[in-house]
Chain A
Amino acid sequence: MTVTAASLPSTVAVPRPGRWPLVGVFALLFLVAAQVTAVMISVPDRDMGHLQKIMYVHVPAAWITFCAFFVVAICSLKVLWKGGERDDLLAASAAEVGAVFNALTLMLGMIWGKPTWGVWWTWDARLTSTLVLLLIFIGYLSLRSFIDEPERRAKWSAAVGVLGAINVPIVYLSVRWWRTLHQVQSAPSTLDPAYTLGLRLNAFAFLFVMIYLVRRRYEAAALVRAAERADESLALGGR
């Protein structure tokens, strides 16, 4: 037996799946098509050879990390400004997805770094600031699991979310501020035109995957919150 969203007392509307499963299928197919196209059409780089193909997963993963933490920053500011459960749950969902893409960026960077730099890891400004970003958002997610009271959790994690997101422009500009081992940003303007289509396609594919994952994670969080509120209300005698 199921209940409708309206029958449960909650300040956050329970989202319905709607056409999101189809969005997921589209994102998956787009990702496969983008990766196959990029790998097939890109010629080996003069210096790096086939290693250049790692760019099509490493760079979009980094961009999507920034996008996810931008969502965290906007939603966290809204929570601090006027409160709101929806923004709190959306920020938490985006933070989790962002942390996954952040970790993926670091792993892919290490796999790319070993054959090109000769080391898996170095305390380069870009690498270190990206690691710090990941640690901040792991801290953000840990903080949320330590605080039980929803309102206090929302305010405290929003403050950490805003502070954490301030690190995003530092990570982005670190390759310009401190000229160390990592190359300058890979973007259509800094790339050979032969590689831009593949990079753009994969950036959009990763974006669709991120949007889908954030939405589904938000849906799960909103359902849990609605269930918790219903149980609380029941425990208080239906008030």
Chain B
Amino acid sequence: MDAMNLRFVVAAYAVAWAVMGSYALYVHATLRRAREMFERSGDRAKGES
């Protein structure tokens, strides 16, 4: 019974880390893309002037 319970506990912590970890990676990737987009638009503005 206790071994079975421990499996659920491990599953819960694994899910928590997987969800928060993947979302954090997504946020960082989005931020990197946004920064590149911002820099490109700045370059275009400079090229135009």
Contacts and interface: CB of A to CB of B under 8 A. Distances in A.
Contacts of B48: 234, 238
Contacts, number: 116
Given A1-B42, A223-B35, A115 B4 contact: yes
B21 to A, nearest CB: 10
A234 B44 contact: yes
Nearest to A222: B34
Interface of B: 1-2, 4-6, 8-9, 11-13, 15-16, 19-20, 23-24, 27-28, 30-31, 33-35, 37-46, 48-49
The SS class assigned to the A binding surface is: helix
B8 A114 contact: yes
Given A50-B6, A107-B15, A223-B34, A1 B23 contact: no
Interface string A211-237: 001001101110110111011011000
Contact of A57 (B13, B24, B28): B13
Given A104-B20, A213-B23, A50 B31 contact: no
The SS class assigned to the B binding surface is: helix
Contacts of B44: 230-231, 234
Interface residues of A, number: 45
Given A103-B19, A238-B49, 6 more contacts: A24-B24, A35-B13, A50-B2, A97-B23, A213-B24, A234-B44
B29 to A, nearest CB: 9
B45 A7 contact: yes
A234 B41 CA distance: 9
A100 interface: yes
